[in-house]
């Protein structure tokens, strides 16, 4: 099978991903094999390829927004799995960033498996979707609503699900005035949920192309994060991995408001006066997402009529897709089209 693998992290312009032929993997106990149709390209893939986050072993195949069809089943783990309508050969499924969790620790028991110390992440601990086939843990594959095409579904599996968790963690209430800092893949999906919740959205991004995209999607305002005189926000979500934005966002929210950071990696946050966070403002990070977040969000995506803006690339052009992502060359999200839809 064709794969795009990372052997050694390096700046994306040196094309670190290597196109390689490998044997098709065989599913083990509790696993399913997926014949991949489309895989989304995420900022986390870029952090991985450029060496800003460090996988436990190399080489590894990136990609954690995987849409495909189950084409083989390993030995099942339980009767429940045996009866699951999702776990059938021929069934279309999605594999998100959360590949698996231990299921036994206090985090897992509380439904916070996104924080499980033994959690494994797709395309990081295990080979992901920049390939023609992958293995997935049968407990964590997601059923995909039939209303969504493969290309439409892929960006929802990380940009969408983790974005949705960020909106929940930002305590957003119906009708809130919400600031989004950075307007890439995740924000362009979040704005559609926020509009569905009757919120007004203020988009802060340097990219003129992204500002226009935000306005097209119904933002009340779009401009640079340095802009003055926009009044105070109820909540904010930071998507850009830029620590300088943290005090900027805190200064823009009202007392009692929340700033949530949707980023797996961020540059250092500069020091700021206590006054900036005083007034019961909350600052919090968002880490990954739970299985339940995925189930809730995919349902909401259909109800809210969410449309992903996608730019298509072939599997062998994965380096180019990541390079264009870094340069903000497209709106929304890049997807690798692995096999015909």
List of residues contacting Zn ion (CB under 5 A): 42, 44, 101-102, 105, 108, 116, 158
Strand partners, 336: 39, 313
Structure tokens at 329: 């060359």
Q: Which is nearer to Zn ion, 155 or 257 (CB)?
A: 155
Minimum CB distance to Zn ion, residue 264 (Å): 8
Q: Are 328 and 214 in contact (CB under 8 A)?
A: no
Strands 200-204 and 133-137: unpaired
Q: Which is nearer to Zn ion, 154 or 259 (CB)?
A: 154
Q: Which is nearer to Zn ion, 265 or 303 (CB)?
A: 265
In whole angstroms, what is the distance from residue 199 CA to residue 182 CA? Answer: 18
Exposure string of 165-201, with b = 16+ CB inside 10 Å and e = fewer, is: bbbebbebeeebbbbbbbbbbbbbbbbbbbbeeebbb
Q: Which is nearer to Zn ion, 42 or 98 (CB)?
A: 42
Minimum CB distance to Zn ion, residue 139 (Å): 12
Q: Which is nearer to Zn ion, 42 or 259 (CB)?
A: 42
Minimum CB distance to Zn ion, residue 103 (Å): 6
Minimum CB distance to Zn ion, residue 341 (Å): 22
Crossing angle for the helix pair 185-196 and 291-303, to the nearest 10 degrees? 60
Among the listed residues 331, 48, 41, 46, the one whose alpha carbon sits nearest the alpha carbon of residue 205? 331
Minimum CB distance to Zn ion, residue 113 (Å): 6
């Amino acid at each position: 099978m064709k794969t795009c693998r990372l052997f050694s992290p390096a700046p994306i312009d040196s094309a670190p991903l290597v196109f390689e032929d490998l044997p098709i993997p065989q599913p083990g106990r509790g696993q399913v094999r997926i014949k991949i149709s489309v895989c989304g390209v995420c900022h986390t893939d870029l952090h991985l390829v450029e060496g800003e986050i460090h996988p436990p072993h190399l080489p590894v195949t990136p990609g954690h927004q995987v849409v495909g069809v189950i084409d083989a089943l390993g030995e099942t783990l339980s009767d429940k799995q045996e009866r699951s309508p999702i776990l059938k050969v021929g069934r279309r499924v999605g594999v998100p960033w959360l590949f698996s969790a231990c299921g036994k620790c206090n985090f897992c028991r509380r439904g916070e498996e996104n924080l499980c110390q033994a959690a494994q992440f797709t395309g990081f601990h295990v080979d992901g979707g920049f390939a023609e086939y992958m293995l997935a843990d049968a407990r964590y594959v997601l059923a995909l609503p039939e209303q969504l095409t493969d290309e439409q579904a892929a960006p929802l599996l990380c940009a969408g699900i983790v974005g949705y968790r960020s909106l929940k963690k930002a305590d957003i209430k119906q009708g809130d005035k919400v600031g989004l800092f950075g307007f890439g893949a995740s924000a362009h999906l979040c704005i559609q949920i926020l509009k569905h919740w009757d919120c007004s959205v203020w988009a802060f991004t340097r990219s003129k192309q992204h500002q226009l995209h935000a306005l097209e999607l119904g933002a009340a305002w779009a401009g640079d994060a340095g802009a003055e005189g926009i009044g105070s926000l109820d909540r904010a979500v930071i998507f850009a991995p830029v620590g300088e934005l943290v005090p900027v966002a805190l200064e823009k929210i009202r007392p009692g408001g929340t700033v949530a950071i949707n980023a797996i990696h961020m540059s250092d946050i500069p020091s700021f006066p206590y006054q900036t966070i005083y007034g019961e403002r909350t600052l919090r990070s968002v880490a990954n997402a739970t299985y339940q977040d995925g189930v809730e969000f995919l349902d909401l995506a259909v109800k809210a009529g969410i449309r992903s803006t996608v730019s298509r690339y072939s599997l062998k052009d994965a380096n180019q897709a990541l390079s264009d992502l870094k340069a903000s060359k497209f709106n929304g999200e890049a997807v690798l089209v692995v096999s015909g839809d």
